[in-house]
Amino acid sequence: MDLSSSFSPLGVPLYYTTEEKQFHSLPHLALSPRYVQSSHTIRSIAMGKLTDVTRSNDIQLKIVGHSLTMAMDDGEFFSSRRYCVGGHDWEIRLRPKDPWVGRRDRPLTLKLVLRGAPRTGSGSVKAQLSCCLVDPTQKLRPSEMKTVSHKFHKPGDYSPRAVFMARDELEASGYLTDDSYVVQCAITVLREQPEIAAAAAAAGDSANAAVAPSSELHAYLGALLESKTGADVTFVVSGESFAAHKAILASRSPVFMAELFGAMKVKASERVEVKDMEAPVFKAILHFVYTDTVPELDHRDGEETEAASTATAMAQHLLAGADRYGLERLKLICASKLAERIDVDTVSTTLALAEQHDCSHLKAKCVEFIAAGTAENLDAVLATDGFKHLEASCPSVLTDLVKVARGRKN
């Protein structure tokens, strides 16, 4: 007898046979048979370290009984089965209407949860969840890819939310068929290995070695990006087109790898539309991918306030973009720049970004700035629009602020 599995709103498994559909009166999450329990590993050199990149194959989550999810409480969610990727056990949680993202429309959200300790080794692990809505009939292209990343330290840790569209948008999108919709997901686990070249380089006879000129690779790749020679993919961002090279993008970003070559590959990937991002931000991301530099963030002390504000705003947008595409070095560069430029006007928006994109050092700097300031300084921060956004989108941060403030008083 053919046995299938589904999940109740509280994540409790319900089992039914294909001949007996009595549980279809409840909304549930069905696991697509297209998921295969295997994964594949790619090894790449990044920042002088060898990185193992392990990705799951296709995971398709089908929500059956969409109309019935209106009766679910705000805190209820669907839990997937467990998947072993990169030696760790993972679970995907889906909330049909999430009230905790600072939006009144309560959108569909997903998050990745570490369920089991590492089977080999120890310590933290960095992982990403990439997901999009798909049309089983293939009449519609997949929706925009949503990607969240997080460093997991122990079982029960979970990633930030991947935020999709609101309920009314979903119902009008075309992805809802027969009161059901499908979310396609992939889990990516990144594990860094110790440096392998430093010892060999140090052992050489530096006195007799010829002095090699500094590398010009970044200049050549930058020129390649500008010339568009051999470009095989075009990104459309806010109405502006950018030509690029799939292989270069995939070699630098696990998200680009998944989008252009992996299980999450978008059909007709020669032309990719990027939503929720401004053209100058995407242009800066491409420039970094090719050259490993971010000239948009460069400004000197004493420059005009407007120029400094522009650089800070770009750093905030680039931090979110770096996290979206798994560009860890760019993310660290942006976090470092923002930590240097914390002031009354920027601290709240920067703190919200640090919380949403798992930048613990930057978050600590922002909390310290607010808690250590004068009463006048605090009043000025509370009066900013950024603080109102912080209250709505990251209410848990307020608890951290109170704890730090109390600690200082004691």
Question: What digits encode the pLDDT tens for the residues 119-147?
Answer: 555 578 889 999 999 998 888 888 988 88
pTM above 0.75, yes or no: no
Fold held by 342-410: 1.25.40
| pLDDT exceeds 90 at position 379 | no
Query: What is the residue whose two structure tokens read 């948009």?
Result: 296
Over residues 148-160, mean pLDDT: 89
> For the domain 216-341, what is the CATH superfamily, name and number?
Potassium Channel Kv1.1; Chain A (3.30.710.10)
Give the integer Cα–Cα distance in Å for 379 and 370: 10
Q: Per residue in 235-252, pLDDT tens?
A: 999 999 999 999 999 999
β-partners of residue 192 are 51
Fold held by 3-193: 2.60.210
Q: How confident is the model at residue 339 (pLDDT cuts 50, 70, 90)?
A: very high
List b or e across 92-120, with b for residues whose CB sees 16 or more CB atoms inside 10 angstroms: bbbbbbbeebeeeebbbbbbbbbbeebee
Sequence spans of domains, the chain: 3-193, 216-341, 342-410
Q: Do 216-341 and 342-410 come out as alike in CATH topology?
A: no
